[in-house]
Amino acid sequence: MRILVTGGAGFIGSHLIDRLMAQGDEVICLDNFFTGRKHNILKWLDNPYFELIRHDITEPIKLEVDQIYHLACPASPIHYQYNPVKTIKTNVMGTLYMLGLAKRVKARFLLASTSEVYGDPEVHPQSEEYRGNVNPIGPRSCYDEGKRVAETLAFDYHLQNNVEIRVARIFNTYGPRMLENDGRVVSNFVVQALKGQPLTVYGDGSQTRSFCYVADLVEGLIRLMNGEHTGPINLGNPDEYTILQLAQAVQNRVNPDAEIIFKPLPQDDPKRRQPDITKAKTLLDWQPTIPLAEGLKLTIEDFRDRVTSPEGHHLASV
Ligand code: NAD
Ligand code: UDP
């Protein structure tokens, strides 16, 4: 099969490409390198079944493919808030062009949506039926509302034009290849601990998140794409931790002497988040297999190479 991965040079996209290439598919990676890195896909560049296209999805493009994993969009608050209008364009125009492409070539289209469509949730855990509590004019709305429109577009192309769609609502995912300066909590804490800097907990650290290791998530995406259900389907690890617990877990593993300091909580920061994965379990026979302790170990090893060796640091910045 010929498979297009938008955002394929990014964190999740590059792990997905590793799986698709290993199973013998032909892969086209499309990326504008805003938060993606060539280094993430370096090992495939000479492979004749792999093609890299530098392209911004806010412009149309014509390609012939069988499946589209649509992941292109910055995922970390500091990156998606850097240029909010661009984030909306990426989610709305970018998704529109990719759905147009799927319609033209009759490709199956999977949207990487997000738990952020639930906003600061009033129900817990979040099931797919919950319609969310999103601030339409807050600092997170370019991303949250952008993804909500992207879901709407996917379903409208499905209902109006019979495009085969799959919608994954991805919860916080972590693992090797996250950017050092990503600003997301796992990468921040690990980098801070490795550099001997204080770990920055926002607020009092009582807010919760549920962290899914990237290999588990990629397995869920592939099952969703190749299964019979459009979704939306939550993909995430239901093991819920407070941010303070996460800081302590990283502290214990990397540097028990690392200090924990408290900084102001960003506006509209969701208080609790935990996926209800009943649908993924029953419809996709999927559930995460890698507990936080194990995933953190693998993530810390990857960051240790980059943060502590000058060569690793240089390579990872390409
Ligand atoms: P990432 O920032 O590492 O990857 C996004 C990729 O998209 C990057 O390679 C970036 O360069 C590319 N990109 C951004 N804008 C683009 C544009 N206009 N044109 C072309 N390429 C563009 O993020 P990630 O964590 O790998 O997330 C991938 C997808 O999964 C995103 O759609 C994100 O919203 C979704 N998601 C991620 C998480 C998570 O915890 N990582 C959670 C929920 C949803
Ligand atoms: N957070 C934190 N310290 C950091 C970065 C993030 O305490 O250095 C908090 C953040 O306020 C949020 C949680 O960790 O409550 C998860 O943040 P992240 O940006 O990783 O993901 P999201 O908020 O989008 O789920």
* Residue 134 CB partners (closer than 8 Å, separation 6+): 116, 117, 118, 119, 120, 140, 141, 144, 145, 148
Residue 317 has pLDDT above 70, yes or no: no
pLDDT for residue 142: 97
Query: Which ligand sits nearest to residue 263's alpha carbon?
Result: 2
- Mean of all residue pLDDT scores within the chain: 96
Residue 49 lies in a domain: yes
Report the run of H or E that residue 240 belongs to, with start and end: strand 240-242
Whether residue 111 is found in the same domain as residue 40: yes
- Active-site residue 174, yes or no? no
pLDDT for residue 305: 86
Residue 54 · residue 33 · CB < 8 Å: yes
Q: How far is the CA of 303 from the centre of ligand 2 (A)?
A: 18
Residue 32 lies in a domain: yes
Residue 202 lies in a domain: yes
Residue 177 lies in a domain: no
pLDDT for residue 184: 95
Q: How far is the CA of 271 from the centre of ligand 2 (A)?
A: 10
- Percent of the chain whose pLDDT exceeds 70: 97
Is the distance from the beta carbon of residue 71 to the nearest atom of ligand 1 less than 6 Å? yes
Kindly report, residue by residue over 45-83, the tens digit of the pLDDT.
Answer: 999 999 999 999 999 999 999 999 999 999 999 999 999
Whether residue 68 is found in the same domain as residue 163: yes
Listed range (103-107, 177-181, 307-311) with the worst mean pLDDT: 307-311
pLDDT for residue 313: 55
Between 91 and 317, the higher pLDDT residue: 91
Domain that holds residue 9: 2-172+213-236+273-289
Whether residue 256 is found in the same domain as residue 146: no
Listed range (27-31, 172-176, 298-302, 305-309) with the worst mean pLDDT: 305-309
Residue 71 lies in a domain: yes
- Percent of the chain whose pLDDT exceeds 90: 94
The residue annotated as part of the active site, out of 80, 143, 157, 174, is 143
Whether residue 139 is found in the same domain as residue 190: no
Whether residue 115 is found in the same domain as residue 43: yes
- Domain with residue 115: its CATH number is 3.40.50.720
Is the distance from the beta carbon of residue 269 to the nearest atom of ligand 2 less than 6 Å? yes
Listed range (128-132, 210-214, 240-244, 310-314) with the worst mean pLDDT: 310-314
Q: How far apart are CA 216 and CA 237, in angstroms?
A: 9
Whether residue 167 is found in the same domain as residue 232: yes
Whether residue 148 is found in the same domain as residue 267: no
Whether residue 124 is found in the same domain as residue 245: no
Residue 178 lies in a domain: no
pLDDT for residue 241: 97
- Domain with residue 308: its CATH number is 3.90.25.10
Mean pLDDT of 257-277: 95
- Tell which atom from ligand 2 comes closest to the C-alpha of 207: 15
Residue 179 lies in a domain: no
Q: How far apart are CA 168 and CA 221, in angstroms?
A: 7
Is the distance from the beta carbon of residue 57 to the nearest atom of ligand 1 less than 6 Å? yes
Whether residue 128 is found in the same domain as residue 260: no
Whether residue 228 is found in the same domain as residue 305: no
pLDDT for residue 262: 98
Q: How far is the CA of 161 from the centre of ligand 2 (A)?
A: 38
pLDDT for residue 312: 56
Residue 36 has pLDDT above 60, yes or no: yes
Kindly report, residue by residue over 186-205, the tens digit of the pLDDT.
Answer: 999 999 999 999 999 999 99
Q: How far apart are CA 88 and CA 70, in angstroms?
A: 15
Whether residue 116 is found in the same domain as residue 252: no
Kindly report, residue by residue over 137-173, the tens digit of the pLDDT.
Answer: 999 999 999 999 999 999 999 999 999 999 999 999 9
Q: Give the predicted TM-score (pTM) of the model.
A: 0.96
Number of domains composing the chain? 2
Kindly report, residue by residue over 221-255, the tens digit of the pLDDT.
Answer: 999 999 999 999 999 999 999 999 999 999 999 99
Q: How far is the CA of 7 from the centre of ligand 1 (A)?
A: 6
Q: Largest Cα–Cα distance in the chain?
A: 58
Whether residue 6 is found in the same domain as residue 150: yes
Query: Which ligand sits nearest to residue 198's alpha carbon?
Result: 2
Alpha helices in 199-242 (DSSP H): 214-226
Is the distance from the beta carbon of residue 11 to the nearest atom of ligand 1 less than 6 Å? yes
